[in-house]
Structure 1
Amino acid sequence: MATEKDIRHQDSVCTNESRLHHKWYCNLKYLLVGIAFGIVFVKAEIISWFRIQEMFRFQSFHMYGVIGSAILTGMISVFLIKKINIKTIHGEKISIAPKKFNKGQVYGGLIFGFGWAVTGACPGPLFAQIGTGALAVTVTLLSAIFGTWVYGYFREKLPH
């Protein structure tokens, strides 16, 4: 029987962990997909500080269109995974744990958005920005890593 603490922190448990073990070079496919995504991010100007600033100033639809299409793609994907029981490429079942809303998500979203507006970078495209030579973004990357560590350190003490 799950305890209240288990249920409260259910989002920290990965229920889709693969039981299969592969050689290290099998992970190269993820590197290649990451590089492809980085190229797409650069070409689509998703990593552009100017595009991000346009979005936060409500001057352009570009980023809203990208984010909206990503949300729509995610919604359709989750629907299909649940509806027709799609499995991983290795035949393993995919289970999506239910999430319970709490006010911390609003606070976290506001902090995330503020950091995104100030730095012109969100975590995904950071590496693509650094890859284009914007080495100042390394400060943002290190700050994101530090912020993640701080959150992990204080997580049990934060209100739920």
Structure 2
Amino acid sequence: MSADRHPLFKPLVFAGGIVFGFGLGFSHMARPEVVLNFLQFEDLGLPFVMFGAAIVSGVAFALLPRIRDAAPLTGDPYERRLKPFDRNVLVGGAVFGVGWGLSGICPGAAYASLGTGNVTILWALAGMFLGAYVQGYWRSRAADTAPAPSGAD
């Protein structure tokens, strides 16, 4: 992250969050029961919202690098960052899916759900923060106890 960001960077990120939260609330995706109904194949509105967002994002990601060389507010060049498809992605995705299926809550929608008056969502948010903390602690402990690579390889 660059320290010399455009002065409108944070206000525009905030505005983007407002638009995102309004969209989640407007489409009822901030309601856990809607997500749970989707997971039980009773309400298929969620895929339409997700695909609509993916289409808009896909068009933006495809066109912007052709129009400009760098992001307008940061000056950072457009580039692809590839994450390897490894065991951590599979296990993390599976654990995320189990949590999503049990609660009907996705992190972005959880914050938006607070805006719709769902105060009990704080329990889910506390669980997400605790789970993320435990995972980070576990990973840092595993990194500390991992054997140092030898020069013989």
TM-score with structure 2 setting the length:
0.76
Where does residue 87 of structure 1 map in the other structure? 70
C-alpha contact (below 8 Å) 1:80/1:86 kept by paired residues:
no
Matched, 1:34 2:17: yes
1:118 to partner: Cα distance:
1.7
Q: Matches of 1:150 and 1:36 in 2, distance apart?
A: 31
Indicate which of 20, 26, 32 corresponds to 1:43.
26
Output the CA distance in 1 between the equivalents of 2:82 and 2:116: 38
Greater radius of gyration (CA): 2
Structure 2: runs of 5+ lacking an equivalent: 144-153
State whether structure 2 residue 68 is matched by structure 1 residue 105: no
Cα pair 1:47 1:128 within 8 Å, conserved: yes
Cα separation, partners in 2 of 1:88 and 1:45, compared to 1, 3 Å: same
Is residue 129 of structure 1 aligned with residue 113 of structure 2?
Answer: yes
1:120 shift after superposition = 1.9
Q: 2:149 is matched with which residue? A: none
User: Over the residues paired in the alignment, what is the CA RMSD in angstroms?
Assistant: 2.6
1:72 is the counterpart of 2:55: yes
- Identity between Structure 1 and Structure 2 (%): 24
Q: 1:99 to 1:79 in 2, by over 3 A?
A: farther
Aligned CA distance change for structure 1 residues 83 and 31 (closer, same or farther; 3 Å): closer
The amino acid across from 1:54 in the alignment is: N
Q: CA deviation at 1:104?
A: 2.1
Match of 2:103 in 1: 119
In the superposition, the TM-score normalised over structure 1's length comes to 0.74
- Give the 3 Å change call, closer, same or farther, for CA 155–84 of structure 1 in structure 2: farther
The 8 Å contact of residues 49 and 120 in structure 1, kept in 2 or not, is answered as: yes
Residue 98 of structure 1 aligns to which amino acid in structure 2?
A: L
Consecutive unaligned residues in structure 1, runs of 5 or more? 1-16
Query: 1:112 offset after TM fit, Å?
Result: 0.9
Q: Which position in structure 2 is the counterpart of 1:58? A: 41
For this pair of structures, how many residues does the alignment match?
142
